[in-house]
Structure 1
Amino acid sequence: MDTTDILKRVRQIEIKTRGLSSNIFAGEYHTAFKGRGMMFSEVREYHYGDDIRSIDWNVTARFNHPYVKIFEEERELTVMLLIDVSGSREFGTTWRFKKNIITEIAAVLAFSAIQNNDKTGVIFFSDRIEKFIPPKKGRKHILHIIRELITYSPEQRETNISEVLRYLTNAIKKRCTAFVISDFIDDNFEDALKIANQKHDMVALRVYDPRETLLPDIGFVQFKDAETGENQWINTSNKNTRQAFNKWWEENERNLNTTFTKCGVDSVAVRTDEDYVKALMSLFKKRN
């Protein structure tokens, strides 16, 4: 892809995702993610109907009259996009690969963030930290992110979600909202996710292809592992093989949902052959 094609693709994504963030997601994003961080504003006298949990007992004791603490939502948040750039994102059996969906979702979230005056940063990861783009504001910064999403070529092809979660916890000191956008073909990241969610507001966005859920009966097929490069012939006409594959998917699905629930992390799944707008709206409404 030459420079002209890259700029054209960046512009196409900007037009589509900026429009979505302006016309559909702006209010939903604000409601779902603003106000998660609250800062102290002032103390005033207690009024009938105030939540008694907000009473400032020290001030109340000093003046012998009830006073309450008033908090305001933080006007500026930091949004971090943790983008999976491992080999499996290059898989797709519909008209879009997983990486195309990941790019558009990341762009929508980035434009929604800057419209709410939030900073946006990005961490590309495989089984290592591939690239870190520090949080900033502005359209120029978002276009730089989109260009990197389109053109970045990772040095490694395998996946280690725990690695990026540990990096986020150590690198971003102030509490942020962090979206992990991945197919989550990995395991043993529960502890790292739990720790990260104690410091930050973690959200999991899982992108998958419909062919990953069901193995078709099409005879002998050579499969290649996108992350290890390993090739293997599989007889898809074998009923036991298809059942084993389906069982793996169902178990993986249950394990992921259990992990997200145990860690207290909001999550949503997006299929490459479906409209991701509905999935994001569902996520935002779930957080309201």
Structure 2
Amino acid sequence: METSELLKKVRRIEIKTRGLSRNIFAGQYHSAFKGRGMAFSEVREYQYGDDIRDIDWNVTARYIRPYVKVFEEERELTVMLLIDVSGSRDFGSVNVMKKEIMTEIAATLAFSAIQNNDKIGVIFFSDKVEKFIPPQKGRKHILYVIRELIDFQPEDRQTDISQVLKYLTNAIKKRCTAFLISDFINKDSFKDALTVANRKHDMVAIQVYDQRETELPSVGLMKIKDAETGKEQWIDTSSSRVRQAYKEWWEKRQEAMDTTFKKCRVDSVSIRTEDDYVKSLMALFEKRN
């Protein structure tokens, strides 16, 4: 992508996602992700927007003014974005590709983190770790992250979620909140790696998928191509049996994914490319409060 075109795209996404994180998420992100299993550090006077569940009633009674407990990580969380850059993200049947929605979601979370004075880092992955951007603060860092989200070109096109989870577990020593953003088109189970990662970190899974991936249209013979392997084949979509088999495959795959998240005790949300991802993220945040 040309530099001028890339910068325009970065600016567009910055304006949209910074506004969303500032005006819509405000305190929701903060209350959903701070202080989970964190060490108590000190108390300070209550400020507007603080979670009333953090009020220290003994200190409040002593000073006759509300005081809240401050947790060590509340002052500086580390947020990691694990972004799937495999071939299947380059798909979209409506007006937008999965890749674009993943980029906007990641940018919105990044701005939410920065406004909360958190560090933000990124790991791009396919069937290997493609790129690691260490956690930092500041607008300059965020803009670099957004530029990479838009323009990064992976070496491989297949997916192995276990690899990125193992990398996260080993690379980030201090407990962090990690958003795993993917379509979860993954051939092998990643349950064991997710269990281990979630013991050390606070894992959150965000699935982005396209409506066309859930069922086949009845349009006769159709040539389909696996975006990750490049394999092509013809299928007869006029056959109700073929369409039903595909629909059942999709539902079974979703069920297996949801079961994995539940067993690993990982909060998750599934977002279609045509959905309002803001509502979906808000519901995710509220679920965690």
TM-score under structure 1 normalisation? 0.89
2:147 aligned partner: 147
2:121 aligned partner: 121
Aligned to 2:28, what secondary structure does the other structure show?
helix
2:190 aligned partner: 189
Residues 50-107 of structure 1: per-residue CA shift (max 9 Å, x gap):
xxxxxxxxxxxxxxxxxxxx96322110000000000000010010000000000000
CA distance in 2, matches of 1:171, 1:277: 30
Q: Which runs of 4+ in 1 moved over 4 A?
A: none
Aligned to 2:24, what secondary structure does the other structure show?
helix
Deviates more, 1:70-79 or 1:134-143: 70-79
Residues 170-206 of structure 1: per-residue CA shift (max 9 Å, x gap):
0000000000000001131000000000000000000
Change in 2 beyond 3 A, CA 1:42/1:287 = closer
- The 8 Å contact of residues 98 and 208 in structure 2, kept in 1 or not, is answered as yes
**What residue ranges of structure 1 are gaps of 5+ in the alignment?**
44-69
1:24 aligned partner: 24
Which amino acid counterpart does residue 214 of structure 2 have in structure 1? T
1:214 aligned partner: 215
Superposed counterparts of 1:236-251, under 5 Å: 236-251=237-252
CA distance in 1, matches of 2:247, 2:40: 51
Percent identity over paired residues: 69
Residues 115-155 of structure 1: per-residue CA shift (max 9 Å, x gap):
00000000000000000000000000000000001110000
CA distance in 2, matches of 1:92, 1:41: 47
Larger radius of gyration: 1
1:35 aligned partner: 35
Offset of residue 36 of structure 1: 1.6
CA distance in 2, matches of 1:90, 1:23: 30
CA distance in 1, matches of 2:120, 2:167: 16
Offset of residue 167 of structure 1: 0.1
Superposed counterparts of 1:1-288, under 5 Å: 1-41=1-41, 72-73=70-71, 74=73, 75-186=75-186, 187-288=188-289
CA distance in 1, matches of 2:116, 2:180: 20
Which amino acid counterpart does residue 91 of structure 1 have in structure 2? F
- The 8 Å contact of residues 38 and 71 in structure 1, kept in 2 or not, is answered as no
- The 8 Å contact of residues 210 and 273 in structure 2, kept in 1 or not, is answered as yes
RMSD of the alignment, in Å? Answer: 1.9
**What residue ranges of structure 2 are gaps of 5+ in the alignment?**
44-67
Offset of residue 253 of structure 1: 1.1
Offset of residue 39 of structure 1: 2.0
- The 8 Å contact of residues 42 and 70 in structure 2, kept in 1 or not, is answered as no
Residues 15-74 of structure 1: per-residue CA shift (max 9 Å, x gap):
00000000001211001001224223369xxxxxxxxxxxxxxxxxxxxxxxxxx96322
- The 8 Å contact of residues 39 and 71 in structure 1, kept in 2 or not, is answered as no
Residues 233-278 of structure 1: per-residue CA shift (max 9 Å, x gap):
1100111111110000110111111100000000000100111001
Change in 2 beyond 3 A, CA 1:214/1:200 = same
Aligned to 1:211, what secondary structure does the other structure show?
helix
CA distance in 1, matches of 2:160, 2:85: 11
Change in 2 beyond 3 A, CA 1:42/1:119 = closer
Aligned to 1:38, what secondary structure does the other structure show?
coil
CA distance in 2, matches of 1:36, 1:137: 21
Which amino acid counterpart does residue 158 of structure 2 have in structure 1? E
CA distance in 2, matches of 1:232, 1:12: 38
- The 8 Å contact of residues 38 and 72 in structure 1, kept in 2 or not, is answered as no
CA distance in 1, matches of 2:26, 2:256: 32
CA distance in 2, matches of 1:221, 1:18: 41
CA distance in 1, matches of 2:253, 2:270: 13
CA distance in 1, matches of 2:239, 2:274: 27
TM-score under structure 2 normalisation? 0.89
